[in-house]
């Protein structure tokens, strides 16, 4: 009887594990708009089993009146050929393998907790943005709601 209970427990655990994996990736995303700076955008972080697997940031800036705006883009996935991913405590570090300025760091830092924080302080805007645009300094994706908290560079 003891072996049957152990077997039943094992089968239940196996079924629950398969169900958890079948749920798929967890995506945290938000949008932002800073009217005073004429900037808007989106951010998303994809997790698989609690591990960051993809980061996407799009920041759009208005152009001069009568001209198109500018966009900054980050789209990095774990295992892609353009970036090196590592862990530093509870943070995931994503280093560009081909920074615009090779003498300076080009790093995105993602921390997942109650909120998801995307630290872009050491990310290079040149090479990712059109002229007149730059990446935000940081974006926080809230646990509830779809509006990002965003920090832009001081004008």
Q: Which residue has the higher pLDDT, 76 or 3?
A: 76
DSSP string for the chain: -HHHHHHHHHHHHHHHHHHHHHT--EEEEEEEEEGGGTEEEEEEEEEETTEEEEEEEEEEE--STTS--EEEEEEEETT-TTEEEEEETTEEEEEESS-SSTTS--EEEEEESSSEEEE-TT---BTTB-TT----SEEEE-SSSSB-EEE----
Task: Output the pTM of the full model.
Answer: 0.81
- Per-residue pLDDT at 65: 77
What is the percentage of the chain residues whose pLDDT exceeds 90?
Answer: 68
Model pLDDT for residues 10-33, shown as the tens digit of each residue:
433 344 444 445 568 999 999 999
- Per-residue pLDDT at 155: 66
| 3-11: average pLDDT | 44
Domain spans, the chain: 24-151
Model pLDDT for residues 65-83, shown as the tens digit of each residue:
777 789 999 999 999 999 9
């Amino acid at each position: 009887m003891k072996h049957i209970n152990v077997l039943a427990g094992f089968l239940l655990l196996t079924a629950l594990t398969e169900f958890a994996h079948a749920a798929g990736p967890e995506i945290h995303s938000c949008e932002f708009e800073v009217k005073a700076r004429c900037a808007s955008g989106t951010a998303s972080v994809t997790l698989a089993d609690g591990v960051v697997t993809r980061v996407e940031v799009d920041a759009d800036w208005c152009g001069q009146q009568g001209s198109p705006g500018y966009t900054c883009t980050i789209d990095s996935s774990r295992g892609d050929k353009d970036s090196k991913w590592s862990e530093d405590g509870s943070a995931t570090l994503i280093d560009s393998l081909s920074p615009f300025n090779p003498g300076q760091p080009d790093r995105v830092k993602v921390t997942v907790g109650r909120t998801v924080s995307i630290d872009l302080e050491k990310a290079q805007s040149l090479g990712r943005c059109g002229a007149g645009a730059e990446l935000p300094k940081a974006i926080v994706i809230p646990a509830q709601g779809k509006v990002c908290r965003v920090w832009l560079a001081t004008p």
